[in-house]
Amino acid sequence: MVGFLAAIVFAIPVFFAGLLFASEFRTTASPAAALGANMLGAVVGGLLENLSLIVGMKALLVVAAILYSLAALGFRGLQSPQPAER
């Protein structure tokens, strides 16, 4: 029973991420670019997850802080995308 509850708790973020991706994918101007960016993010995320074996769990906090800082710099000055017309 505990394993079942743990599986449900860990599956909830994946479920909501799928809903969010589907709703954003529907409004994108270039579905191929959106799917490619999603796949690239999954691959890079998996590789970064394995980085914990190299640098250790404590140093992973520094890596995460650097990546979030780079993402924040990348988002500066971006305009909101306009929904695709049908």
29-61 tens-digit pLDDT: 888 998 898 899 889 888 888 888 888 878 888
Tokens of 18: 């799928």
Please state the pTM of the whole predicted model.
Answer: 0.58
pLDDT at position 16 is 92
- Per-residue DSSP letter, 45: H
Cα distances from 77 to residues 72, 73, 84, in angstroms, run 10, 9, 21
Assess whether pLDDT exceeds 80 at residue 83: no
Assess whether pLDDT exceeds 70 at residue 11: yes
Task: Report whether 60 contacts 52 (CB < 8 A).
Answer: yes
Please count the residues of the chain.
86
Place of tokens 């799917």: 35
**Could you state, in order of their start, the residue ranges of all structural domains in the chain?**
2-75
